[in-house]
Amino acid sequence: MLKTCVAALGVAGLLATFSVQAITADELIAKNAAARGGQDKIEAIKTLKFEGKLRVSGGFGAIELGLVQYEKAPDSVRTEATVQGLTQVQAWDGHEAWQISPFQGRRDAERMSADDAKSLADDAPITGALIDYKAKGSRVEYQGTEDVEGTNAYKLKVTLANGDIKYVYLDPDHYLEIRTISQVQVRGTENETTTDFGDYEQVAGVYFPFSITAQSKDGGGTTTTISIDTGEANVAIADSLFAFPAPAKVKP
């Protein structure tokens, strides 16, 4: 009986191994693209505008801000967070990043360092990290399955062109992203952020997450939650919205 059980366990292990190896990274990426609405529809979206709320909570309590985010292909992004008449801006124009930080007493735009800009740049493409990853200079490896809050999710390791690492977890039933873990090198130190996605809604026939929760490993317990109310695709957005603001002209 013992030998029979051992043999059965051996077969089960072999089947589990075969199951893990039976799908490739590219096949999972294709399933993800199809689940989102199809690669053609995804690539047809050239601009996006999302409006909603941003909630930041931690040991200091919680604060809720109005949120507007603009995206433009191939990789420009601008986020505005507003509370009590003050608006914080962070933007990436595909080459450099800048910000306006009135909550820190800075009302003029200032350029961000290359390291500080990494997270903005990494998340900027509308198509995401997986679609056309080779053209973006990335590498993707399938690393089997891993438990994500009780879901046995597919795990993909994405090594971006700049060396940053992003682990992408796909729901095994719907192949949509349910979690990413980003590892970004900033001034010689690795910053790790876990982001969970949910409440997918269609915008121009493509599914996007309308609920996003992020927590940085070294963020002192701070949690950032985004709730999207509305999303629009292919609206007119000028390139200048993402560019570092020109100095204000001084009247003579």
| Residue 21 confidence class, pLDDT cut points 50, 70, 90 | low
pLDDT at residue number 60: 77
pLDDT at residue number 105: 86
- What's the pLDDT tens digit per position in 29-47? 999 999 999 999 999 999 9
Sketch the domain layout of the chain as residue ranges: 22-241
pLDDT at residue number 249: 58
pLDDT at residue number 104: 85
Residue 90: is its pLDDT beyond 70?
yes
Q: Which residue has the higher pLDDT, 58 or 240?
A: 240
| Residue 252 confidence class, pLDDT cut points 50, 70, 90 | low
pLDDT at residue number 179: 98
| Residue 126 confidence class, pLDDT cut points 50, 70, 90 | very high
CATH superfamily of 22-241: Lipoprotein localisation LolA/LolB/LppX (2.50.20.10)
| Residue 219 confidence class, pLDDT cut points 50, 70, 90 | low
Q: Which residue has the higher pLDDT, 145 or 119?
A: 145
User: pTM of the predicted model, to two decimals?
Assistant: 0.87
What average pLDDT does the segment 158-171 reach? Answer: 96
The long-range contacts involving 121-125, CB below 8 angstroms and separated by at least 24 positions, are 121/75, 121/92, 121/97, 121/162, 122/160, 122/162, 122/164, 122/166, 122/182, 122/184, 123/77, 124/71, 124/75, 124/76, 124/77, 124/92, 124/94, 125/73, 125/74, 125/75
pLDDT at residue number 174: 96
Report the number of secondary-structure helices (H) and strands (E) in the chain: 4, 13
Residue 83: is its pLDDT beyond 90?
yes
Mean pLDDT rounded to a whole number for the chain: 89
pLDDT at residue number 75: 93
- What's the pLDDT tens digit per position in 137-162? 999 999 999 999 999 999 999 999 99
Measured distance CA(235)–CA(240) in Å, rounded: 15
